[in-house]
Amino acid sequence: MSLLPKTFRRVVCFPQRVSSPSLVRWNSTNGVPKPPLKLVAELRKHTDVSISKAREALIASNLDIAKAVQWLEQDLATSGVKKAGKLSDRIAKEGLVSLSVLSRGLGDPPHRSPRAALVELNCETDFVARNSLFAQLAEDIAHTAAFISEAPSNGEPSFLTLNLDAFVDAPLLSSKPDSSLTSSLTIRESILDIISKVGENIVLRRVGALVTKPITSASEGYCVAGHAHGLSPTQGRIGTLALLRLQAPTLVEALKRETFSPGLDRLSRALARQIVGMNPSQIRAAPSSDESEQTALYNQPFMMYGEESQVEAVLRRWSQEHGLSEGGVDVIEFSRWELGS
Residue 238's H or E segment, with its range, is: strand 238-247
Q: Decide if pLDDT at 202 tops 70.
A: yes
Residues facing residue 330 across a β-bridge: 245
What pairs with residue 282 in β-bridges?
296
CA angle, 326 then 263 then 237, to 5°: 115
Q: DSSP letters along 272-301, please?
A: HHHHHHH--SBSSPPTT-HHHHHHBGGGSB
Rounded CA separation 96/102 (Å): 19
Query: 203-216 pLDDT, tens per residue?
Result: 999 999 999 887 77
pTM: 0.76
Residue 44 is predicted with a pLDDT of 77
Mean per-residue pLDDT of the chain: 83
Tell me: the pLDDT tens digits for 258-290?
Answer: 889 899 999 999 999 999 999 999 999 877 666
